[in-house]
């Protein structure tokens, strides 16, 4: 009987703790801090210079309204005192850590990019090896340049027909670590831009068995932790650190992101220092407060809101697939057990169009704005903000485009997907940092084959490097970039965005010497 009573007592205490945690999630310390500031009726003699919107350009006031600027108050000397004694931001970050299942969370006002830079700066030194996914975001590549690390690239496996990255295989991570037992970190991107999640739990097991931490760029998965039908989140998978972009899929302002960390494998104090090095010392309180509000919304109502978003995406996927010439990728077609059900990857090459063509038509004729396009199709996001009416508008636009374009003649380069073979790792001749700072010269793309890239060449979106500094440039990648540029692809990174020239390392060796 005593044991039964003890068990009941333990359960009651656990239930009470859960209720306390749930009650805490109703709080939004940063939003409350803004309200306190207004309640005090402060006459500001501090930044920002517009002083609660009183000094605005007239058109700016008309476009954005007075409310935004009235709430654009400073963090120190506004939401908190000038010495941050109230620790308002820290209180908001603690609530976010509880919501995402982390030990420590940092709010970021310059996107997940800042988290990528901070985490690598805190964990590796110049010359350290990092096993890194080749579908890394531009900001992770920049972090390699900043740190002087040597990447050991691991490519996502590709679907044999659809040329879609299927995530990083645990066996490939294990093989890379076996070949490079001195590696200091595993850094991955999951989910991919197309919504495919890697088996993070198995990858964590592989790396942790060797004492190596795992870091994940989870920019596209801020919602994963809040619905059981979505792939398991990075924190729930046991990774040591993960950055996630609240602004991409949740209800927060652009640039809002979080860096989540857990476990003993990385020095928490060093991460705190690194975050302070890469984020602005004048953070936008509206962006910070929007993270606070989005956290509260997801902690309290996330599953119900995501139920609706998932249902809307499923409806759109079903109706779009019924349109001749349109294909929509999903977990079943790909054979990917981890797939973001809210993401619509819509192929239009069966209509004789590139994704660039389709995006232009969608925007200019139908007022529909997809997230991105490439030579194969477009990607559209369904979030907690969408409605049945918006889905109807999306489907109707594609139906109208398909009715006018049924030639079935595939455009040149239409088998080249941004997440496929174009971003596969090639040979490296130098580390990204060495190549970035090396003497360089500009040559025509045809003359760059076999040379060492001195710059980043990144179709954006999705922001995955086709060429990284230090890569030996292949003819296949030049063909992909030229086809994309000819069809209107935006290239981030190169000095010559028209790609009439590419900067190569001027080391005096020449391509023939590297063959």
Residue 14 has pLDDT above 60, yes or no: no
Task: State the chain's maximal CA–CA distance in angstroms.
Answer: 84
Alpha carbon of residue 102 to chain centroid: 18
At 136 the three-state DSSP class reads coil
Q: What is the pLDDT of residue 407?
A: 64
Buried b (16+ CB within 10 A) or exposed e, 49-64: ebbbbeebeeeebeee
At 203 the three-state DSSP class reads helix
* Neighbouring-strand partners of residue 379: 345, 372
Contact assessment for residue 398 and residue 323, using Cβ atoms and an 8 Å cutoff:
yes
Determine whether 257 is exposed, middle or buried from the number of CB atoms within 10 Å of its CB (0-12, 13-18, 19+): buried
> Closest Cα partner for 49 from 60, 36, 33, 39?
60
Q: Which fold has domain 302-404?
A: 3.90.1150
User: In which band, very low, low, confident or very high, does the pLDDT at 460 lie, cut at 50, 70 and 90?
Assistant: confident
Give CA–CA dist 477/248, Å, rounded: 29
Instruction: Answer yes or no: CATH 3.90.100.10 is held by domain 426-514.
Output: yes
Q: What is the pLDDT of residue 481?
A: 87
User: Using one digit for the tens of pLDDT, what is the confidence trace for 339-385?
Assistant: 999 999 999 989 999 898 999 999 999 999 999 998 889 999 999 99
Give CA–CA dist 454/472, Å, rounded: 10
How confident is the model over 253-266, as a mean pLDDT?
A: 97
Q: What is the pLDDT of residue 421?
A: 60
Residue 347 corresponds to which tokens in the numbers above? 């192929």
Q: Hey, where are the domains in the chain?
A: 24-86, 87-299, 302-404, 426-514
Contact assessment for residue 374 and residue 417, using Cβ atoms and an 8 Å cutoff:
yes
How confident is the model over 465-491, as a mean pLDDT?
A: 87
Contact assessment for residue 203 and residue 188, using Cβ atoms and an 8 Å cutoff:
yes
Residue 18 has pLDDT above 60, yes or no: no
DSSP readout, 137-166? -HHHHHHHHHHT-EEEEEPPPB-TTT--B-
Residue 355 corresponds to which tokens in the numbers above? 């994704």
At 290 the three-state DSSP class reads helix
> Closest Cα partner for 429 from 329, 304, 303, 515?
515
Q: What angle do CA 358, 360, 364 make, to 5 degrees?
A: 125
Strands 129-133 and 150-154: parallel
Alpha-carbon distance values, 420 to 192, 217, 326, 413, 423 (Å): 11, 18, 19, 13, 6
What percentage of the chain's residues is helix, strand, coil (to nearest 5)? 45, 15, 45
Alpha carbon of residue 18 to chain centroid: 31
How confident is the model over 383-402, as a mean pLDDT?
A: 98
Strands 372-373 and 185-189: unpaired
Buried b (16+ CB within 10 A) or exposed e, 224-247: bbbbeebbbbbbebbbbbbbbbbb
For 2-11, 42-51, 100-109, 372-381, which range has the lowest pLDDT when averaged over its residues? 2-11
Return phi, psi of residue 108, to 5°: -125, 130
Strands 129-133 and 185-189: parallel
How confident is the model over 294-320, as a mean pLDDT?
A: 98
Which strand (E) or helix (H) includes residue 497? none
User: Using one digit for the tens of pLDDT, what is the confidence trace for 28-52?
Assistant: 999 999 999 999 999 999 999 999 9
- Measure the N-to-C terminal CA separation of the chain; round to a whole number of Å: 79
Is there a cis peptide before residue 191, judged by omega within 30 degrees of 0? Answer: yes
Mean pLDDT over each residue of the chain, to the nearest integer:
90
CB atoms under 10 Å from CB of 319, counted, come to 18
Instruction: Answer yes or no: CATH 3.40.640.10 is held by domain 87-299.
Output: yes
Contact assessment for residue 97 and residue 105, using Cβ atoms and an 8 Å cutoff:
yes
Q: pTM for this one?
A: 0.91
């Amino acid at each position: 009987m005593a044991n039964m009573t003890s068990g009941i007592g333990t359960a009651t205490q656990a239930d009470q703790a859960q209720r306390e945690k749930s009650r805490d999630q109703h709080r939004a310390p940063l939003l409350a801090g803004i309200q306190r500031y207004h309640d005090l009726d402060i006459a500001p003699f501090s930044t920002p210079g517009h002083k609660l919107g009183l000094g605005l350009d007239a058109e700016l006031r008309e476009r954005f309204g007075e409310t935004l600027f009235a709430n654009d108050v400073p963090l120190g000397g506004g939401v908190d005192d000038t010495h941050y004694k109230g620790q308002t931001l820290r209180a908001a970050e603690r609530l976010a850590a509880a919501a995402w299942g982390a030990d420590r969370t940092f709010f970021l006002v310059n996107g997940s990019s800042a988290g990528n830079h901070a985490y690598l700066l805190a964990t590796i030194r110049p010359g350290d090896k990092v096993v890194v996914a080749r579908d890394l975001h531009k900001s992770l590549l920049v972090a390699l340049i900043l740190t002087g690390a040597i990447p050991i690239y691991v490519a996502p496996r590709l679907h044999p027909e659809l040329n879609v990255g299927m995530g990083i295989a645990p066996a490939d991570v294990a093989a890379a670590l076996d070949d490079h037992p001195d590696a200091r970190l595993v850094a991955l991107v999951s989910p991919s831009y197309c919504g495919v999640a890697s088996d993070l739990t198995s990858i964590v097991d592989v790396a942790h068995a060797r004492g190596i931490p795992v870091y994940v760029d989870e920019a596209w998965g801020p919602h994963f932790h809040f619905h059981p039908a979505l792939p398991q989140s990075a924190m729930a998978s046991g990774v040591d650190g993960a950055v996630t972009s609240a602004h991409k899929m949740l209800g927060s302002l652009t640039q809002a992101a979080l860096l989540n960390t857990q476990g003993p494998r990385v020095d928490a104090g060093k991460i705190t220092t690194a975050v302070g090095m890469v984020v602005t010392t004048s953070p936008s309180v509206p962006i910070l407060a929007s993270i606070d509000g989005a956290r509260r919304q997801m902690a309290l109502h996330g599953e119900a809101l995501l139920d609706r978003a998932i249902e809307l995406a499923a409806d759109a996927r079903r109706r779009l697939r019924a349109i001749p010439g349109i294909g929509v990728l999903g977990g079943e077609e790909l054979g990917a057990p981890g797939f973001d059900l809210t993401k619509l990857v819509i192929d239009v090459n069966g209509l004789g169009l590139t994704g660039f063509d389709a995006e232009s038509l969608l925007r200019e004729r139908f007022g529909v704005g997809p997230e991105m396009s490439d030579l194969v199709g477009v990607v559209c996001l369904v979030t907690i903000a969408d409605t049945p009416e918006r889905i109807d508008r999306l489907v109707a636009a594609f139906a109208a485009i398909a009715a006018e374009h049924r030639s079935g003649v595939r455009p040149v380069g239409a088998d080249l997907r941004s997440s496929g073979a174009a971003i596969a790792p090639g040979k490296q001749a130098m580390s990204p940092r060495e190549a970035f700072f090396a003497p360089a010269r500009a040559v025509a793309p045809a003359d760059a084959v076999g040379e060492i890239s001195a710059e980043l060449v990144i179709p954006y979106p999705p922001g995955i490097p086709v060429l990284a500094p230090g890569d030996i440039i292949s003819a296949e990648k030049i063909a992909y970039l030229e086809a994309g540029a000819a069809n209107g692809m935006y290239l981030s990174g190169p000095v010559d965005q028209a790609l009439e020239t590419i900067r190569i390392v001027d080391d005096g060796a020449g391509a023939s010497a590297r063959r």
